[in-house]
Amino acid sequence: MKGNSEKGKVLKLIRNSLLDKADIPYSNLDMDSNIYAPINDDPVMVFAESIVGNGGKFVYCKDEEDMINKLNSLIEYRNWSNKILSYGNALKDYLQANGIHTNQMEEEKAEVGISLCHSACARNSLITVTSNQVDNEFGKLPDILIVITFTSQIVTDLKTSLNQLTEDMPKFITTLNPNYLLKEEIKELYLFTVENIIQTN
């Protein structure tokens, strides 16, 4: 009976609070202005500094051929052949066509994983991955994660990144935080960033 009495008191408090609505304490509060200082530097440079500052490794590639060459060199140097899991069949086929073999092993057995991404946030290096890039949501991540991003995908903030999803809404969205990943889940993070914006000056 005591439990019902306590429950009744709580429900009465909730009911009364809904009936007696208080005035908004800060009626002139601006919820639209940007709380961050504007980024005046090149977003790619800000992103690179943020990734390195969080303990990741930033690899700049002048084009896709350069990316394949650098990826091949890293795989050979670290002896990762037959140890890489590709997240997404499209990426697997692309790498295969360029001489990089990736396995379809179970995720928990993968030593190295490689993925595309939807976008990367320059301000805090958050990386957004969706079902448009990978076939399944990330389960247990490998010890080493390689993410391929293009310079055109690097945006200033997460809001801009999420706004770009409206035209082709994916089944799932995952945001990777390099700072958390490197402390809690993985040992190494590589960001291969491929230039795909034509320089006009």
Q: What is the CATH number of the domain that holds 133?
A: 3.40.50.10420
2, part of any domain: no
7, part of any domain: no
Helix (H, G, I), strand (E, B) or coil at 133: coil
Backbone angles phi, psi at 107, to 5 degrees: -60, -40
Q: What is the pTM (predicted TM-score) of this model?
A: 0.77
161, part of any domain: yes
3-state helix, strand and coil shares in percent for the chain, rounded to the nearest 5: 35, 20, 45
201, part of any domain: no
pLDDT value, residue 103: 80
pLDDT value, residue 201: 35
167, part of any domain: yes
pLDDT value, residue 33: 63
141, part of any domain: yes
133, part of any domain: yes
Look at the chain and report how many structural domains it folds into. Answer: 1
Contact present, 123 and 167 (Cβ < 8 Å)? no
The domain of 174 spans 40-194
Backbone CA torsion sign across 123, 128, 165, 62: positive
18, part of any domain: no
Q: From first to last of the 201 residues of the chain, give the pLDDT tens digit.
A: 455 678 888 888 888 777 776 666 666 766 666 655 666 678 888 899 989 999 999 999 999 999 999 999 999 999 998 889 999 889 999 999 999 988 865 555 678 999 999 999 888 889 999 888 888 878 788 999 999 999 999 988 877 777 777 666 788 888 899 989 998 899 999 999 999 865 433
How many Cα neighbours within 13 Å face the side chain of 168?
A: 6
CA–CA gap between residue 60 and residue 66 (Å, rounded)? 9
Find, among 160, 161, 190, the residue nearest to 178 by Cα: 190
Residues in the chain: 201
pLDDT value, residue 132: 85
